[in-house]
Amino acid sequence: MTQQHQPIRDRHRHGILVRGVVQGVGFRPFVYRLALEEGLAGFIGNDTDGVTIEVEGPSPALSSFLARLRAEAPPLSRIDSVDLREIPPIGEAGFHIAASEVLGRVSTGIPADAATCPDCLRELLSPADRRYRYPFLNCTNCGPRYTITRRIPYDRPQTSMACFKMCAACQSEYDDPANRRFHAQPNACWDCGPQLTLLSADGSLIPAADPVAATINLLADGQILAIKGIGGFHLAVDATSEPAVQRLRQRKRRYGKPLAVMVRDLTAARLLCRLTEAEEALLTTPARPIVLAHRRPDAAIASSVAPGIPWLGIFLPYAPLHHLLFADGRLQALVMTSANLSEEPIAIHNAEARARLAEIADAFLMHDREILQRCDDSVMALVDGAPQLIRRARGFVPLGVPLPLDAPPLLAVGGHLKNVFALARGRFVYQSQHLGDLENLTGLDFFRESLDHLMRTFEIEPQAVVHDLHPGYLSTTWAKQWAAERGLPLIAVQHHHAHIAACMAEHSLDAPTIGISLDGTGYGADGRIWGGEVLITQLGSFERFAHLAYVSMPGGDAAVKEPWRMALGALHAAGFDVESEQIVKLLGAQPSEVRVLLRMIERSINSPMTSSLGRLFDAVAAVVLNRRVVDYEAQAAIELEGIAVEEPDRFEQGNYVPELHEADEGSGSVAVIRTGKLWKAVLDDLWRGVPARRIAARFHAGVAEGFINAAANARIETDINTVALSGGCMANRRLARLLRAGLEEEGFTVLQHRNVSPGDGGLSYGQAAVAAATLRL
Ligand SMILES: [Zn+2]
Ligand SMILES: [Zn+2]
């Protein structure tokens, strides 16, 4: 740095604090270049919560610097605030990057993993570049972050790149503030970085001068490859080959659930799906999520990729290796699914993958950069015109989501299925990646491992533990034990209260709200299973205003896997004679089966009561689509939405609208939403030969109107004019659209999820918001 001092006349100096995601994302070199271009002196350094900048020079240059600071910030950064103060100029010359220690403790932030940037992609495919076809190139604007970091601070020795010593060429890029790779922690090249190896199923090395080319040959030949990526292994097959996809399904024991497809680029994506501009924007964000989009009827894709539904989960290459797999044009589309048996955690270690996937994969494309954090691909969909997170994982974790109130350090353990836990402190909640179902010890190990990691990463020592009200959840049992060992207080939060609080907190709302939580499940305050709820909600408390009428679930969990049982329970509750010949036939059941279930219901044997809308969808799908059993969660409901996709939204709903009645005593609710007339309308239409797609569309519209009526009644009683929509059913785009449109026509302000999942993946964020409000009181 030069220290030749300048005359102070006509000069000003600003002290600037920038808060947000500004570390490990190329922010300091960006500011360095900006200051040089504007001819300003001063310095930039990381500090505890962001970066500190001091700049000095003439006013016009300072104004331009400030404008460009926001406008041209690096792609992976996120500026939350810029605080500016005038300080006396000191006549400094030159601009420099201060060493971190000068400004105190380095911030604890670790950025999220990001897709290969356009500059790196250009190098990857340029024969003249020294990184031509190097599968691990990256820079400060792209590459792995969270998944390769062991602990803070985010610095190369703390990452799984520590064992690779940079060559002189890489080191000089790393040290040069004007270089795109300045302090790019995973910086590497052919000479000094990780390398690929190709192994056969028995673990022997497949000799290949170019493992990528050999892999392409195997894939084109219909083989199943386990490919190590950023957050774990994928199982990959040629998505255009029906036999290859079938074989993968057989071996993975995953029969109906849709598989995600990676395509070469946007042009290839457009050939498979009808994409809106907003969907294309989602596909190309640095997080590169899987996006659920409308499949073209003529899409060149094996039909067993996503049977029975009109959508396809597609995504674009996000690691250099993925780009290389598509580069020579032989492969058009690859099924890329998490390498696990269904709902087990994704495999990340080489030996672990070989052991767990030996029966599935024909070959393994491995590398020697360790993955330290499992992280599945994120899933998003455009719901009602706005992006919504269905599964929040790679590319989003561990970015914090703001809270509208201060939280003490706390741990919220989330739910049971699709578990995500959260750590909160101050105005931020840090959610873990999607962990899958907490039904077994593997799931619980993944939970513990990720919790340790996030606690270290953010240096958060919880002072309270928040869990779901359900006494039987593994997460609840674990939370109680963990809190007891540490002498910490416990806070139990009702499932749907957490859903609505999550939506409110996401919108910085801390005032009474009408919450509509539509979901598959959720342990209620009365010990029954809730899921079709209108709740008058504050962050710290709620009252039940209305709920779907209770019906029996004969067989409990068996009724979730066999929707015809749900249909029987619902029709019985609605007053139909389920032993009549017509209905037995409709259920696709034997009279003896029906008798057994009926007896279970009448004697209350293993037949819990539920007000769940998810279960109502299952029941209607069972009779309308003859869907007796499901292969995966919510399959029946998803198919019911899918079949209606080309139908108009609105009808004369008439009898399809569930009716609002005064609630029975003891339910703790004001009103109940009854479905007797709705069921009659469904059966009448069915027997009159009305097509299933039309019945499905009417059912969606009727249900939406029923809940809108309930909200309107709640407004009369409470004068509240804001509605928050949440719960797993909000992933149903038709339902979300109908509810929002209908509520807005009624003059309501409507809040929908954006950065937090409406499903159980969002629970822990809501639990944290409820706990913060509870502890404040
Ligand atoms: Zn890059
Ligand atoms: Zn190198």
Q: Which of 490, 425, 439 is nearest to 464 (CA)?
A: 490
**Token pair listed for 513:** 């709200």
195 alpha carbon, closest ligand: 2
pTM, entire model? 0.92
Residues 6+ apart with CB under 8 A from 526: 666, 667, 668
The distance of Cα 760 from the centroid of its chain, to the nearest Å, equals 10
Residue labelled with tokens 């097959």: 237
Please state, in angstroms and as integers, the Cα–Cα distance from residue 434 to each residue in 414, 417, 531, 764, following that order: 11, 10, 22, 11
Give the ligand at the shortest distance from the Cα of 76: 1
Taking the centre of ligand 1 as the mean of its atom positions, its distance from the CA of residue 181, in whole angstroms, is 8
Ligand nearest to the CA of 131: 2
DSSP code string of 644-666? TTTS-S----GGGSPEEEEPPTT
Tell me how far the alpha carbon of residue 117 lies from the centroid of ligand 1, in angstroms. 4
Ligand number nearest CA of 138 is: 1
Residue from 350, 348, 351 nearest 371 by CA: 348
Measured in Å, residue 365 CA sits from the centre of ligand 2 at 22
Beta bridge partners of 490: 465
In this structure, what DSSP letter does residue 756 have?
S
Instruction: Looking at the CA of 320, name the nearest ligand.
Output: 1
Structure-token pair, residue 83: 């605080």
| DSSP characters over 506-550 | HTT--S-EEEEEE-S--B-TTSSB--EEEEEEETTEEEEEEEEPP
Tokens of 577: 């004679």
- Ligand that lies nearest to the alpha carbon of residue 143, given by its number in the listed order: 1
Helix H or strand E segment including 21: strand 12-21
Query: 560: which 2 tokens?
Result: 């979730």
Quick one: pLDDT at residue 661? 94
- Calculate how far, in angstroms, residue 130's C-alpha sits from the geometric centre of ligand 2: 9
Token pair of 154 as six digits: 């985010």
To the nearest 10°, report the CA torsion of 181, 187, 192, 197: -140
How far is the centre of ligand 1, averaged over its atoms, from the C-alpha of 180 (Å)? 8
CA 220 to chain centre: 31
The identity of residue 211, as a single letter, is P
Rounded to the nearest whole angstrom, what is the distance from the C-alpha of residue 597 to the centroid of ligand 1? Answer: 60
Residues with CB under 5 A from ligand 1 (ion): 117, 120, 139, 141-142
Distance in Å, CA 141 to ligand 1 centroid: 5
Query: Measured between alpha carbons, how far is 710 from 714 in angstroms, rounded to an integer?
Result: 6
Residue 463 identity (one-letter amino acid): Q
Ligand nearest to the CA of 121: 1
Closest ligand to 184 CA?
Answer: 1
What is the full DSSP assignment across 442-486?
HHHHHHHHHHHHHHHHHT---S-EEEES-TT-HHHHHHHHHHHHH
What phi, psi does 423 have (nearest 5°)? Answer: -110, 135
pLDDT of residue 323: 98
User: Cα(482) to centroid of ligand 1, in Å?
Assistant: 41
| Whether 50 contacts 23, CB under 8 Å | yes
What is the structure's pLDDT at 447?
92
pLDDT value at residue 254: 85
Strands (E), 255-369: 261-263, 273-274, 290-295, 311-315, 333-338, 363-367
The SS3 call for residue 79 is strand
Here the tokens at position 630 are: 């499901």
Task: Kindly identify the ligand whose nearest atom is closest to the C-alpha of 181.
Answer: 1
CA of 138 relative to ligand 1 center, distance in Å: 4
What confidence score (pLDDT) does residue 102 get? 40
* CA 169 to ligand 2 center in whole angstroms: 6
How much of the chain is helix, strand and coil, in % rounded to 5? 35, 20, 40
Query: 282 C-alpha to center of ligand 1: Å?
Result: 19
Ligand nearest, relative to CA of residue 318? 1
Terminal alpha carbon distance of the chain: 53
Contacts of 403 (CB under 8 A, 6+ apart): 424, 426, 427, 428, 429, 505, 768, 769, 772
Ligand having the closest approach to the CA of 194: 2
So what's the pLDDT on residue 154? 76
The low-confidence residues of the chain, meaning pLDDT below 50, are 1-3, 101-108
Return the ligand number nearest the Cα of 139: 1
Q: How many alpha carbons fall within 13 Å on the CB side of residue 165?
A: 1
Residue 679: half-sphere exposure toward Cβ, Cα within 13 Å: 26
Structure tokens at 259: 């598989």
Dist CA 98 CA 644 (whole Å): 60
Q: Cα of 624 to ligand 1 centre, how many Å?
A: 51
Compute, in angstroms, the gap from residue 398 CA to the centroid of ligand 2.
28
Q: Residue 186 C-alpha to ligand 2 middle, in angstroms? A: 10
Query: Which ligand ends up closest to the CA of 114?
Result: 1
Q: How far is the CA of 158 from the centre of ligand 2 (A)?
A: 19
pLDDT the model gives residue 345: 73
**Residue 454 CA to its chain's centroid (Å):** 17
Gap between the Cα atoms of 728 and 534, Å rounded: 15
CA of 172 to the centre of ligand 1 (A): 17
CA of 686: how far to CAs of 150, 330, 344, 698, in Å?
58, 48, 40, 12
Strands (E), 281-332: 290-295, 311-315
